[in-house]
Amino acid sequence: ELLAESREWPRADRPWRAGVSSFGISGTNAHVIIEQAEQAKEPATEPQWAPTVVPWLLSAKSEQALAAQIERISAHGGALSPVDVGRSLAAGRSLFEHRAVLLAQGPDSELSEAARGRAEADRSLAVLFSGQGAQRVGMGRELYGRFPVFAGALDAV
């Protein structure tokens, strides 16, 4: 039967199937068989992932302003969602010369300061995406010798 308008399929104890054909003028032909979708099942509730520690990135134009900002956020930050605050600080704030990282371990927990320092504008950033590491012999040796943080992370692996 060739339908000119849509209509409901009657309910059945099996899924409905239909064939759709297209015969193009240029000789391109196609035929597709479609099947009625399964009834939607109730989605299983999956446990929500919540990190145990969230970094909060802070920056200011002076050391005094940074200290004041750390004091303010330490006084009020514990009552807020650590993930929401961390996202807002990372994505919605300007980066200034004086910077600090606080670690939030959950609502109503004490914040701990992980790092504080000054950004150096004349430093360049280098990132090495090494793949599986076979690009050249000794890859990473200079980073290992020059940066203790890199050496420590590599030694830990």
For 118-150, write each residue's pLDDT tens digit.
988 777 777 665 555 556 667 778 778 888 888
User: What is the CATH number for 62?
Assistant: 3.30.70.3290
| Number of domains present in the structure of the chain | 1
- Residue 131's pLDDT is 59
- Looking at per-residue pLDDT, the higher value among 107 and 153 belongs to 153
Residues 2-53: tens digit of each pLDDT: 778 888 878 888 888 988 888 887 888 999 999 988 877 887 777 676 778 8
State the Cα angle at 98 between 68 and 117, rounded to 5°: 105
3-class DSSP state for residue 43? coil
Core vs surface per residue 115-133: b (16+ CB within 10 A) or e: eeeeeeeeeeeeeeeeeee
Q: Is residue 94 part of a domain?
A: yes
What domain range is 105 assigned to?
Answer: 54-118
Please state the pTM of the whole predicted model.
0.49
> Which two three-digit tokens encode residue 63?
């050391």
Exposed (0-12), middle (13-18) or buried (19+): which is 77, by Cβ within 10 Å? buried
